[in-house]
Amino acid sequence: MTMSEPAADKTDEASPAATEATISTPGDDPILAVESLQKRFGGITAVDGATFTVDRGSITGLIGPNGAGKSTTFNCITGVNTPDGGRVVFDGTDITGRSTDWIATRGLVRTFQIARELPAMTVLENMLLAPTDQRGESLWRSVLPGARDAVVDQEEQLRERAWETLEFFEIDHLAEEKAGTLSGGQRKLLELARALLTDPDLLLLDEPMAGVNPSLETKLLDRIHTLQDDGYSFLLVEHDMDLIMEHCERVIVLHQGAVLDAGDPAAVKANEDVIEAYLGGEV
Amino acid sequence: MSANAGADDGETPNGGDSPEQPRWRSDLQTLVGLLVATYVGFGLLGLFTGVRPNSIAGFLQTVTFFAGVFALLTLAVNLHWGYTGLFNIGVAGFMGVGVYTMAVLTAAPTASPAGFGLPTFVGVIGGTIAAGLVGVVIALPALRVRADYFAIITLGFSEIVRLGVTSGALRQIELGGRVYGTGGGGGIGYQPVSSVVPWALELPGVSAVGDGLYAAAAFLGLSASIVDRVLYALVIIGFVLLFYLLLERIAHSPFGRVLKAIREDETAARSLGKNTRRAKLTVFALGAALMGLAGILWIGSRSLATPSSFVPVVTFYIFVALIIGGSGSNTGSVVGAFVFAAFLWEGPRFVRTILRRSLDLASPPTVVDAVGHLAALNPLPLFGYVVDSLDVLRWVAIGVLLVVLMVRRPEGLYGARTDIAAATDLSVRPTRGDDDE
Amino acid sequence: MNADGLAARFENPTAEELFGLALLLGVAVLCLDLVRRVATGELAAARLLGLIWNGLVDSLYIALAAVGLSMTYSILRFANFAHGDLLTTGAFSGWTVAYLIGGIGAADLGSRLLLDADGGAQAGDLGMDVLASPLAIVLGLIAAAVVTIAVSLAIDRLVYKRLRDADGITLLIASVGIALALRYLIAFVYTQEARGIVAAAPMWEPAWLPIGAINLHEATLVGSGLTLIVGVHLMLQYTKLGTSMRAMSDNRDLAQVTGISTERVITATWAIGGGLAGVAGYLIVLDQSQITINLGWFLLLLVFSAVILGGIGSIYGALAGSLIIGTTINISLIWIPADLGNVAAFTLMILVLVLKPDGLFGGVATT
C-alpha cells in the first residue's frame, strides 16, 4: 500500500472538517483514549492524571509549556515508560504497559523530538527497516534457499516504496549516505518518512517540523492533510502556535502533567488559564 | 552469498566494488594472495635455514588448522558483537558445552568416565544443539541488563561451566551401573573428531585416492599423519566457508538489518515495531551453537577434553583476531583469524625453531643470569633467554598490539566497510513512471 | 475489558516478582537450615565462626580491589580488565622488596630478586613471616603500593590519556591489552611457576580467646584492609578531593563546569585505585603464600561481581558487594563442595542482576 492509494481498511467516515462550529468536544470514536495517566520519576511527578482522547482521522495538537510532560506522555503511550497509574486505550484495545514494539505493530508509531536515525546505516537502510510484516525478519526465511526468494521479492517491493517516499520528502539525493552525516533538519525528515513507511493508524509526532525549511514544511503539512483524508490520525506536539492553529482541529493543553484544557484551537488560545500557564504562573 | 555477487554496478555503496569485479571476488583474491605469500614465505624461510620438510609441513598445517578454528570462532563472535552489538565474552563456555556434550555422547560406555557410544556425527550435532540451547538459557536473563553487565554475566557463565566440569562434584555420576561424569580436572576422553579423515580415506570408493596421497607424501618426505592432519585442516576450511556463506546471507537480509539496528539504537528499532528481544535471543542462540561447533572441531580433534582448554583467556584470543580483522565484517573476521594464527600464534614458535637451529644459543634459566652476562659485554645469553621466552613475549606483543589498535585504528583492517543490510541492491531506483505520487 | 489490560500490564513484572520472591524464599530456607544445623549440632559453632571469619577476610581483599575498580568505572567510565594485574604487580614488586631486605645474608641476590624462581631462596630459610621479619614485610607493603601507583599512572599517561573520549568498549579492550602485556612481562622476569613465598604464619593463642588461635598473617590483612577502607571513606566524605570524585562519578561534564580539575581527579583515581590494588595483591600473598602471575586475573571476575552487585558508581555499593560475595563463597560451603564456592558467588551475582538490573545501589552508564 503506497501513500497515494485510498486506504481500504481505514474508516470510511469523512474526516472531521476543521470548521469553527464543530469539534470542541471529543467525537464518539476516539482512536486513542488516555485516562488518568500517572508517571513518577523518583520524587518528580511528570504526568499527573492526564486524561484526553484523540479522534479517529483527526489532526490533534498537544501543547504545553516546557516541562509539562508532553514527551513523557508520549513515552507512556508508546511503552517506552511504563505508567504508574491510569490506562491507555488504542483502537479499542488496552495497551497500557505493553512493549513498544508490540504497540508499534498494532499501528501506533511515534517519532522522536531528537531524531533517532541509525547513524551507521544508510538512509535507505533506515527506510527499509520501517515496514512491518517483513518476511525476511525471521532468521529461517532469510537463510533457507526456497524461502529466501520470497524475501528478495518483498525487499524489491519495499525498495520501491522507500525510494518513492524519499523522493516525496526531497531527500532522495541522500539515499545512500550514512544517516549520521545528515543535518538536523534532514534527520527529522528521515524520521518522519521512516515512520510513515510503517503504515501506522495513529502517528504521534514530536516536534516534526523543527529544523525544516518553510516550503518543505508546507508540503509536508499538505501531505499530512491528504493522509488524514485517507483515514490516518495524527497527534502532534509543536511549539509553533501558528502551525497548531492552522492545522489542528482540536488542541489539548498539558500543564504540570495534567490536562488544563482541550478543544477548539481558538477557544483554547483565548483561555486565560492557558495563557497563565505559558507565562509561568501556577494554575 | 551476497545478492550482489556478479553485480557490475561500479557505483554501488557496497564497500567499493571495483568496476570490473564484485567485492567478494576481490576479497577472495586478497585472502588467497595473503595465504600463498605467507606459506611460501615461511616455507622458503624454513628451507633456507635447514628445517626438515616434515617440520615445515607440520608448521604450515598447524597454522592452517588454527587459522581455520579461529576463523570459525571469530565469525561467530562477529555475529554477536560486530553485527548485533552483543559483547559476549563467554565464548569459551559455549565451546566447552559443545565439546563436553559431544564427548559424553560419543565416549565408549566402557571408558572412564563413560559415554553413550554414539557415532561421531551424532556427537557433533548434539554438541552444537546443546550449545545453542544453553545460549538461550543464558540469554534470557542476560539480555535484560545493560551492555557491560551483559559482558560480565557471559564471563560468569563461562567460568561457571569451567568450574562446574572441573569440580569433583560432577566428576563421577553413577547411573545404571556405569560411571558417567565430566572427569573433573583430568578431563574426558573420546574418539577424536579428526578421526573421520583416516576413516573416510579407507572407504571402498576412496581408498585408492587415500593410498595415492600417502604415497605422494612419503615421496616428499612427509609422514602419513601429516596427510591426515592436512586433510582435516581442509575439512575445517570447508566449515569456515559454510559459516561465511551463512553469515553473509544473514547480513544481507531483513533479519540482519534488524540486528544492525539493535546495535545502532535499539529503542528506535522497537519504536518501528521490531521485536528486538526475539531477534537478540535468536542470534545469541545461533552464535552460541556456532561456537559450540567450532569448539568441537578444535578441541574435539584431540582425544581428551580438559577444562583448561576453556579458560577465559581463550575468549580474548578470539577478540584479538576479530579486532585485527575489523569487527562487523565477515571478511575481516577470516583475515584477522589468519593473521593472528600465522604471525602471533604459531609464527613465533617457528621463528624460535629456526633461531635455535641456526644459532648456538645458551639457555640461561633466569633473566638475572642472562642480564648478568651483559656486564661482561656478552648479549648472547640474554638473546637466548628472549628466544626461549618467545611463548611469553608473544603475549606481550599481542597486548601491545591491542592497545595500539585501539588508539590508532580501532576499526581494524576491514571494519570501516559499508556493508548494506538488504537482500537486494538498494541503489536501484524505480523507473519514473506515471505513478509518482 | 479491564482484566485484559491488567493481565497485559503485569505480564512482565509478574515473572520478575515471582522470581524475586523465589530467590528470597530460597535465602530464607537456607537461613532456616543454617539455624537447624547449628541447633542440632550438625554444624559446629566453631566451624560456622570460622566460615564467617574467612568470609570477612575474603571480603576485605576483594573490597580493596573493588574500590579501585569501582572508581575507575564511575570516573573513567569503563570496565578496567587490567585491574587484576595491578594486584599482581603489587604482589610481585612488594615481595621482591621484602625478599631483598629480609633475605640479606640468607640467599643470593639473584634468587631473591626473582622471588625464588630458581629455588635458591626458600621462604622458610629467609624467615618470611610477619614476626620474624616485620621490617621487610612492612617495607614490602609500602613498596607494593608505591610501585603499583607508579605503574597505574604510567599506563594512564601512555594509553588511557589518548583515549579519554573513547567509548567504554574501546577502553575495555585496550585494558585487556594492557593486562596481557603487564602479566606476561612479569612472567618474562619471574617465570610462570607458581610458588609459595611466605613462611608459615605465626599463630597467637592467648588463653582468653574463644575460637582457638589467630593467624597473624590474616590478622595483618584484616587490620590493614580495614584501616585503608576507613581511610577511603574518610577521604570521600571529608576531603575536597573526595567530594570532587563523587561529583565526577555522578556527572563529569557538570563537574568540569563547576571548576573541578578533571585531570587531577583522574590522577587521584589511578593513584588511590592502584595503591589499594597493589596492597591487596601483596596482602593476599601474605595470607595465602602462593604467588603466580595469574593471581589478579583469577580474582578479577569475583571483583567485578562485587562491583556490579553493588551497583556501578557507588563505592559503598562496591564495599557491600564485596561483603556479599566474600560471605557467599564461604557460607555456601555449608551446603556445597569447596571447589564450587566461586560458582555460588557468580550464580548469586547473575540472579541479583536479573532482578535488579542496575545492581543493588543504582548505576552509571558506560555505554
DSSP per-residue string spanning B171-187: T-EEETTEEES--GGG-
Q: CA-CA-CA-CA torsion for C249, C254, C255, C258, nearest 10 degrees?
A: -160
| Gap from A272 CA to chain B (nearest CA, Å) | 37
Distance from CA of A262 to the nearest CA of C (A): 26
Q: Is the model more confident about B323 or about C355?
A: B323
Whole-number mean pLDDT of chain B? 84
Contact B264 A105 (CB under 8 A): no
All 3 cell numbers of residue B288?
Answer: 552460541
Which residues in chain A are closer than 8 Å to C8, comparing Cβ atoms? 94-98
B87: nearest CA in chain C? C169
Asked which of A2-16, A40-54, B152-166 is least confident by mean pLDDT, the reply is A2-16
Mark yes or no for CB contact B398/C180 under 8 Å.
yes
Is B273's CB within 8 Å of A136's CB?
A: no
C9 CA: distance to closest CA in chain A (Å):
5
Interface test with B, best of A2, A139, A149, A202 (most B CBs within 10 A): A139
What is the structure's pLDDT at A100?
92
Q: How far apart are CA C123 and CA C202, in angstroms?
A: 14
Q: C352 lies in a domain?
A: no
CB burial string C3-25: b at 16+ within 10 A, e below: eebeebbeeeeeeeeeeeeeeee
- pLDDT value for B20: 56
Which other chains touch chain B, taking contact as 3+ CB pairs less than 8 Å apart?
Answer: A, C
pLDDT tens-digit profile of B277-319?
999 999 999 999 999 999 999 998 888 888 988 988 899 889 9
Report chain B residues whose CB lies below 8 A from the CB of C301.
Answer: 152, 155-156, 159, 312
Listed in sequence order, the DSSP H helices in B49-177 are 53-77, 91-106, 120-142, 147-166
**Between chains, do B271 and A78 touch, taking CB under 8 Å as contact?**
yes
What are the sequence ranges of the domains in chain B?
Answer: 27-345+389-408
At A24, is the secondary structure helix, strand, or coil?
A: coil
Kindly state the average pLDDT of the residues B176-186.
74
For residue C240, the distance in angstroms to the closest alpha carbon of chain B comes to 30
ipTM (interface predicted TM): 0.84
State residue C27's pLDDT score.
84
Q: What pLDDT is attached to residue B8? A: 39
Note the pLDDT of residue A61: 92
- Within an 8 Å CB–CB cutoff, is residue B368 touching chain C? yes
With a cut of 70, say whether residue B11 has pLDDT above it: no
**Nearest chain B Cα distance for residue C146, angstroms:** 23
Q: How far A92 CA lies from chain C's nearest CA (Å)? A: 9
Q: Which of B230, B255, B290 is nearest to B61 (CA)?
A: B230
Instruction: Count Cβ atoms below 10 Å from residue C83 Cβ, excluding itself.
Output: 28
Q: Does the N-terminal peptide bond of residue B381 adopt cis geometry, omega within 30 degrees of 0?
A: no
Domain assignment of residue C138, yes or no: yes
| Residue B431 or residue B306, greater confidence | B306
CATH architecture for segment(s) A30-117+184-189+196-279: 3-Layer(aba) Sandwich (3.40)
pLDDT(A23) > 60: no
By the CB < 8 Å criterion, does C168 face chain B?
yes
Q: What band does A14 get if pLDDT is binned at 50, 70 and 90?
A: very low
H-helix or E-strand spanning residue A262 = strand A258-263
Q: What value does the mean pLDDT take over residues B371-388?
A: 79
What pLDDT score does B71 carry? 96
Mean pLDDT of chain A: 84
Q: How far apart are CA A237 and CA C58, in angstroms?
A: 56
**Is C63 domain-assigned?**
yes
- B135 and chain A: CB distance < 8 Å anywhere? no
Higher per-residue confidence, B169 vs B130 = B130
pLDDT value of residue B119: 86
Cβ atoms of C285 and C93 closer than 8 Å: no
Looking at residue A167, its amino acid is E
C358 vs A129, higher pLDDT: A129
Distances (CA, A) of C314 to C62, C245, C363: 15, 11, 7
**Cα B35 vs. chain centroid, distance in angstroms?**
16
- Contact between A97 and C4 using a beta-carbon 8 Å cutoff: no
pLDDT given at position C199: 79
Q: Do C5 and A82 touch (CB under 8 A)?
A: no
Question: What residues 164-193 of chain A have any CB closer than 8 A to a CB of chain B?
Answer: 164, 167-168, 172, 175-176, 178
pLDDT at B241: 94
From chain C, the residues in CB contact with B152 under 8 A are: 79, 301, 304-305, 308, 349
pLDDT at B262: 94
| pLDDT value, residue C259 | 74
Chains contacting C (3 or more CB pairs within 8 Å): A, B
Burial of C119 (0-12, 13-18, 19+ CB in 10 A): exposed
* Least-confidence region, from A32-46, A263-277, B283-297: A263-277
CA–CA distances in Å: residue B348 to residues B59, B66, B398, B405, C62? 11, 14, 12, 20, 37
Report the pLDDT averaged over residues B117-142: 92
Q: CB contact, 8 Å: A101 with chain C?
A: no
Predicted confidence band at B166 (pLDDT cuts at 50, 70, 90)? confident
In angstroms, the separation between the Cα of residue B145 and the nearest Cα of chain C is 5
Q: What is the pLDDT of residues B73-104, one digit of tens each?
A: 999 999 999 999 999 999 999 999 999 999 98
**pLDDT in the model for residue B10:** 37
Residue of B1, B11, B257, B281 to mutate for A, most A C-beta atoms under 10 A: B257
pLDDT band with cut points at 50, 70 and 90 for residue A255: confident
- Find all residues with CB under 8 Å of B182, minimum gap 6, and list them: B100, B113, B164, B165, B166, B170, B171, B188
B437 is written with which cell numbers? 505520487
Q: Classify the phi-psi angles of B312: left when phi > 0, otherwise alpha if psi is within -120 to 50, otherwise beta.
A: alpha
Best residue in B162, B267, B368, B398 for a mutation probing chain C (most C CBs within 10 Å): B368
> A26: pLDDT confidence band, cut at 50, 70 and 90?
low
Residue C335 belongs to a domain: no
**Domain locations in chain A as residue ranges:** 30-117+184-189+196-279, 123-181
| Residues in chain C closer than 8 A to B168 (CB atoms) | 337, 339
Interchain pair A96, C2: CB under 8 A: no
- Least Cα separation, residue C11 to chain A (angstroms): 9
In chain A, the N- to C-terminal Cα span, in Å, equals 47
Of these ranges, A275-279, B20-24, B260-264, C96-100, the one predicted with the greatest mean pLDDT is: B260-264
Long-range Cβ contacts of C17-25 (<8 Å, 24+ apart) = C19/C354, C19/C355, C20/C355, C23/C351, C23/C355
Q: Please say whether the beta carbons of B335 and B413 come within 8 A.
A: yes
3-state secondary structure of B379: coil
Residue of A nearest to B284 (CA): A139
**What number is the average pLDDT over the span A221-249?**
89
d(CA C280, CA C228): 10
Q: Do B253 and A138 touch (CB under 8 A)?
A: no
Q: Is the pLDDT of residue B14 over 50?
A: no
Which stretch of DSSP H or E encloses residue A52? strand A44-55
CB–CB contact B267 A175 (8 Å):
no
Mean pLDDT of B106-117: 80
pLDDT-derived band of residue A59, with 50, 70 and 90 as boundaries? Answer: very high
Q: Is residue C325 part of a domain?
A: no
Identity of the highest mean pLDDT range in A69-78, B214-223, B423-432, C44-53:
A69-78
Instruction: Report the domain count for chain C.
Output: 1
Low pLDDT (below 70) residues in chain C: 1-16, 117-121, 123-125, 209-212, 251-253, 362-367
**Confidence check: pLDDT of B37 > 70:** yes
Q: Do A128 and B254 touch (CB under 8 A)?
A: yes
Its domain, for residue C154, covers 42-202+215-297
